[in-house]
Amino acid sequence: MTESDLKVAVVTGGGSGIGEAIAHRLCDDGMAIGVLDLDEAAAQRVAAGLRDAGHDAIGVHVDVSDRAAVEAGFGTVRAELGPVSVLVNNAGRDGFRRFVNITEDEWNAIIAVNLTGTFHCTQVGISDMIEAGWGRVINISSSSAQGGQEFMAHYVSSKAGMIGLTKSLAKELGQDGITVNTVPPGFIDTPMLRRSEAKGLLGGSVEDHEERTPVRRVGTGADIANAVAFLASEASGYITGQIIGVNGGRNT
């Protein structure tokens, strides 16, 4: 399969932040995009903007923790755009709570989106890739899964699970022509980050954290999108099961 044959990518959580940046970059690389998001209005807004720029894109309301919704969403993408070649599991939910106060419901809710949602979307999405003998799965995990983070044990555990799932699937699906890698973002300027800053949950301001980052700036969605674009390309065909950190040197 040549790079020109890449037709359809699905980006979960594509309605804002990192997911939106990834959707734009993959469209710029010539792919049609299924923008999946829990926020239907956001998914439609991003897709409309991509179409206005001359790209093929649709927005689809999907709760990745709901298997039936995932199957329906991928069905819509396939019907309107075609078989899926690239899947970016970006949908995520964060949480801040002292470990001893995390409830079972809070634990389950974050695992359901971040880890089980990745399971659902990957299991549903790879059938086209297996049939084609070519595919790319890129999981957006978190640098917190590498170094830990206080008051986020449930979130960190879910993202660490994504890294383990990535490595297992890379070994299992390589024979089918599918690579599976994970990009754990570091300190990235997103709406989620700014909400956390406003609540005083970052241990300082974004600017304070810039001073603790070797490259002396906060990351952007485009920084993550650039790494994803490479991993989604033909050029990355001998790279699988890898953790490609994009964090300005905060984790090495």
What is the C-alpha separation between 47 and 193, in angstroms, rounded? 23
| Spatial CA neighbour of 141 closest among 84, 183, 103, 190 | 183
Compute how many other C-beta atoms are within 10 angstroms of the C-beta atom of residue 5: 10
Q: Let me know how long the chain is.
A: 252
Catalytic residue among 74, 119, 134, 155: 155
CA–CA separation, 87 and 142 (whole Å): 17
Q: What is the DSSP letter of 115?
A: I
Residue type, 217: R
Asked if 155 is an active-site residue, the reply is yes
Residues acting as catalytic residues: 155
